[in-house]
Amino acid sequence: MNKRQIILLSSLGVTLAAALSYAQIRSYKAGDLGTSPEAQALVQVYQSIKSQYLKDVDSAVLLRGAIGGMLGALDDPFTSYSTPEETKGDDEQLSGQFFGIGVSLKAVNSDGTGSQAAVVYKDQPGSRAGLQTDDIFYKINGEDVSKLKPSQIVTKIRGPKGTKVKLEVLR
């Protein structure tokens, strides 16, 4: 995927998220999203979860889930949504203004979560600390990251040059 496509997809995702967030679905009436039964069902499910679910559920989590479902329905591997945090990481990567530990990650679980070291680059902080290919990232600074996506894990590891991070891995 080239830089232009990444920027276009990131912009699409941010625009969609901003539009949904701005509108604050909880105040929508079914007609605001359209009069189709599907649009009405979306609003009713959202309102039911917010008012009747056993636990409080963050609106952003529900909205991101709805966005993910819509994009997943397209069955297009080149169309995706990035959160504002992920987009910031993509922007850093494109501009080259970040530092990491010199490790490429790949998902370890079938649902795209968890991360395993796919490549550990020589003479980088990760290799100097003893990381090895196939190490599975378990905790970062004491936080369990075994259910996070690789992009979320990268965000927790990156930082200004000299940033210290404590990793716990499974070998």
Q: How confident is the model at residue 93 (pLDDT cuts 50, 70, 90)?
A: low
Residue 14 · residue 84 · CB < 8 Å? yes
In the numeric block, which tokens belong to residue 46?
Answer: 């959202």
pLDDT of residue 170: 94
Q: How confident is the model at residue 127 (pLDDT cuts 50, 70, 90)?
A: very high
| DSSP category for residue 100 | -
Is residue 18's pLDDT more than 60? no
Query: Would you tell me how many other CB atoms lie within 10 Å of the CB of residue 95?
Result: 8
Q: Residue 150: which of 94, 61, 86 has the closest Cα?
A: 86
